[in-house]
Structure 1
């Protein structure tokens, strides 16, 4: 068992370069400069601790951290603290995970939000974990290096997803919950299982390691309890936890269904599954697709409709969940999918058989 290293309610990081406080964690930055980013923590030899800034910061800011003294599972969990600490900066909003990071910097914060400042905050946060022996932080702004490390980040995360995918819900007694979105959505709770990553892409092993390391306060263990419906993914312990954490706004959850008691959807879903009544099947639209879907709604319109709520016929999902053997198995799985956005199609064509792909269209 990993020791409890960091106080669960606080990562005590301060900076002279920018005003920081937990009170700013729920701040929405409506206007400002948007930076594209990524987050990657790897285990490796660290000859020289410190902070390295690669290139001049314009619209790119990737965070690449090399650590020693921890396992790879712990390393991937450390990635979850980046949003935690950067969102404490006044006038800064850190959105999404992994290769999809977006950082919005208000005009008032622009002069203070620098690569060196980000590097120092990230370095101090990671260094505060006693299990971590040595740390090197690379803030990547150079376009060529950004694309190189972004590609590596994608490969590393894919390998971690593949490793995590071998575990099944039946193999464990404990799932993990996440309430990070309750800053904005007070009745929303995610349940993360070996076969259902969170809609924002957090894997079971990441949540497990983050909770055990006590890196952030919003992950917590969930006793699975008695199985009520294995096909749809309903468990007695999960229902009890969701009731408590949602202030009893949600009574039941079927983890692998979009039609019947689906999980509620948080702020940063990578994609949304929606029911198409005329076809008795489903569509899947990713966040980057801006056109209307077959039901006449865009991703943004669907998100506003369902965010923080349980809405039957809609559910937020991650790309990692699409690869799960339990993907929508309570509703018929991929056999019931009729339409996907082009980005989703490019992703699923890597692992779905041709006979399934032939039944899925991308034109609205």
Structure 2
């Protein structure tokens, strides 16, 4: 081990501790010692200090103790030409520096409370790009990903690349491997975060590019996040420093990339990270520590080329990532699932009420299809100009010795998140209400409709190889072809839905979850029962059961419904317990059969949204493809924006079209007989089922009693119609009592 490494790290430790001691004394001289300090909205105080020592720092005076502890860790200065090649003094100096950095950041937050946004995403328009330490809400949402493997680790990048293009290349390389990128520090006044913005990238927790702060001290937030994950999900107790550090070494696969000149302050941070088993790889010529010891392999590696730093970092950390290249001109991976394609960046779109967009997966005979064949029938992206729309039909044929018809909707629903994995492409909805938006950046890189098929072919093979052998995909973009596919698809959807038509919630003791939409609505948890189909319309109870059989660790998990807490509203003990865990604590309970009392959460993929109409003592429902005004005063798009992000909003609820005529539909609020308005197109679509269900409930010709936009689009306009028809809702008990 180089004497220069020891000298730099130990010098850095002394420098940082002394500097922060001075800052603390200055703060104590100007403010009361009992002044509250902390990182905000966290039960973990200053998390590195608390997790490793058990010290609870809540006031300015409390900061003296960890700084005294840090001072005691500092080893003797390196003297003479001969230095014992031992890591111990470096680790102590590094830990002292990390403690001091955490105190420094607490003082900064006290001194400049508006410096960090403390949010998932920065406020770029306001010039505030630094989010600071993650609060416990973000920890619960993101930390579990490091435990369940959906985020295999994180790259802590300090400094800046030589230019924005190189920064973008490095960061995207990590995104492709599903890693988080925690960014801090600057090199000559420039940060990799600013370079990412210059390169047109979206930053924030949702894209896994986290802008912690502009100084090397901000890197302590990454270590604090790792330690809090160990306490929250690994059961490690505060003060159990040995278990804490071993947990991180063995479970949190992280490393540091130092981009730029490494001075003493960076050196002490790197030495501190080694305590966690996190190695440092630099793009400059710095002294190396190559023997194994604390880290899995090398501790410090120098002169790593920028185009190799990602792969080399993964190798040195001992992280195993199974990556299969997909031949498209855009980056691809879960890190892009949270991206939005907003108006200013939109090049073209398919569906979303502008055109028809339909998806259908069907089982085929092995001899009928050719594996890997992807065909575009009709115009492609290159034939469009900015702002254009296209109809789109995505038709996937699958053959396999183990494939069953029951598996069709499961793979069909995967289209949603797999398309979202493509950088610059956004997908919402499912079945015949899908919506695909393509960004200008994606088009500039050569994106084509064919690339949708290439992605689906590759990912279906990767994720479902046990049940399929061949995948062929046809993408239709001519209106007549899309309409023909849509007509066929709707018949298939109807057949699937009717499979559970005779089942009741009392017939089963297990419901199923669906969390596929959490990329856009993180707190949304859909629970599917025989009489409460998924609000997207794509999944019923049997679909979820089949999905769990295919992928036991996937988004459709069995939920033992347990004790029935309220049979009228539809509240179940087992569902409540699952909901608390799956929503990361955002929700504690909801009811299956009510929109008034603690309704289910709603995401943006719902087919319909129901809303109360108090003056009519009833409810309305509006489907996604109706673009007009409604009696509640909001269009579908407005309703979805207000309560479609995973919210549970009394008086509103998302649901599927099929659910309208299921026996338990808002049964706790009066059931189907409460429905007084819906768009004519929806009423015509389910007309026979409306009358059949109404007859079961004692009302003949119910569909003709329900108003639509031809009657009116306000409560005042439709009330006389309801009175003339003798609608049953008018004589029911008050909906808001």
The TM-score with structure 1 as length reference comes to 0.91
For the structure 1 residues 303 and 76, does the alpha-carbon distance in structure 2 shift closer, same or farther, using more than 3 Å as the test? Answer: closer
CA distance in 1 between counterparts of 2:682 and 2:553 reads 31
- Structure 2: which 5+ residue stretches go unaligned? 1-147, 151-177, 179-321, 352-356, 382-389, 692-699, 714-737
How many residue pairs get matched? 358
Change (3 A) 1:55 1:215: farther
Question: Is residue 298 of structure 1 aligned with residue 610 of structure 2?
Answer: no
1:15 paired with 2:326, answer yes
Match of 1:177 among 513, 516, 520: 513
User: After the TM superposition, which residues 4-153 of structure 1 pair with which residues of structure 2 at under 5 Å, given as runs?
Assistant: 9=150, 14-17=325-328, 18-31=330-343, 32=346, 33-36=348-351, 37-47=357-367, 48-53=370-375, 54-57=377-380, 59-69=390-400, 70-111=403-444, 112-128=446-462, 129=464, 130-153=466-489
How many angstroms apart in 2 are the aligned matches of 1:344 and 1:13? 43
Match of 2:48 in 1: none
Structure 2 contact 372–470 (Cα < 8 Å) conserved:
no
Specify which structure has the higher proportion of helix: 2
Are 2:616 and 1:272 aligned? no
User: Any conservation in 1 of the 2:350–2:436 contact (CA below 8 Å)?
Assistant: yes
Matched residues in 2 for 1:305 and 1:257: separation? 19
Structure 1: segments with no counterpart, 5+ residues: 1-6
Which region of structure 1 is more displaced relative to structure 2, 326-335 or 244-253?
Answer: 244-253
Shift of 1:8: 9.4
Report the CA distance shift for 1:296/1:151 in structure 2 as closer, same or farther (over 3 A).
Answer: same
Matched position secondary structure for 1:310: coil
CA distance in 1, matches of 2:624, 2:149: 31
Aligned residues: CA RMSD: 2.2
Aligned equivalents of 1:144 and 1:361: distance in 2? 32
User: What is the alpha-carbon distance in structure 2 between the residues aligned to residue 234 and residue 44 of structure 1?
Assistant: 41
More deviation in 207-216 or 65-74? 207-216
**CA displacement 1:281-328 (0-9 Å, x = unmatched):** 111112233333223222233223322211111101111211312211
Instruction: Using the TM superposition, give the Cα deviation of residue 216 of structure 1 relative to its aligned residue in structure 2, in angstroms.
Output: 8.0
RCO higher in structure (CA 8 A, sep ≥6): 1
Q: Secondary structure at the match of 1:358?
A: helix
Q: Residue 253 of structure 1 aligns to a residue in which SS?
A: coil
Using the TM superposition, give the Cα deviation of residue 218 of structure 1 relative to its aligned residue in structure 2, in angstroms.
Answer: 2.7
Question: What corresponds to 1:355 in structure 2?
Answer: 701
Contact preservation (8 Å) 2:607, 2:623:
yes
Distance 1:75 1:13, change over 3 A: farther
The aligned counterpart of 2:497 is 161
CA distance in 2, matches of 1:185, 1:88: 16
Map Cα deviations across residues 156-195 of structure 1 (whole Å, 9 max, x no partner): 1111111132322122221111223322333221111111
Name the CA shift for 1:357/1:206 in 2 (closer, same or farther; >3 Å). same
Q: Quick one: distance in 1 between partners of 2:561 and 2:658?
A: 21
Give the 3-state SS of the residue equivalent to 1:38 in structure 2: strand
Aligned residues of 1:8 and 1:217 also touching (Cα < 8 A)? no
Paired with 2:324 and 2:533, the residues of 1 have a C-alpha distance of 29
8 Å contact 2:433–2:624 — kept in the other structure? Answer: no
Contact 2:326 2:458 (8 Å CA) reproduced: no
- From 532, 540, 555, the equivalent of 1:218 is 555
Following TM superposition, by how much is the alpha carbon of 1:29 offset from its aligned partner in structure 2, in angstroms? 0.5
Q: Find the structure with the greater CA-based Rg.
A: 2
* 1:85-138 deviations in Å (ceiling 9; x for gaps): 111111000110011111100011125321322221111122232211222222
- Please give the alpha-carbon distance, in whole angstroms, between the structure 1 residues aligned to 2:474 and 2:327: 20
- Cα distance in 1, alignment partners of residues 588 and 461 from structure 2: 41
Post-superposition offset of 1:205: 2.1
TM-score, reference length from structure 2: 0.46
1:26 and 1:184 in contact (8 A); partners too: yes
Please state how far the C-alpha of 1:12 moved relative to its aligned partner. Answer: 6.1
In structure 2, what is the Cα distance between the partners aligned to 1:248 and 1:85?
A: 27
How far residue 60 of structure 1 moved from its aligned partner, in angstroms, is: 2.9
Residue 144 of structure 1 and its aligned partner are, at CA, apart by 2.6
Aligned partners of 2:519, 2:683: CA distance in 1, in Å?
33
Q: 1:196 Cα shift?
A: 0.8
Matching residue within 584, 604, 607 for 1:247: 584
Is residue 29–residue 106 contact of structure 1 (8 Å, CA) maintained in 2? yes
Q: Which of the numbers 668, 680, 686 marks the counterpart of 1:330?
A: 668
Aligned-pair CA distance for 1:83: 1.5
1:141 Cα offset (Å): 2.4
**Larger strand fraction of residues:** 1
Q: Is 2:547 aligned against 1:236?
A: no
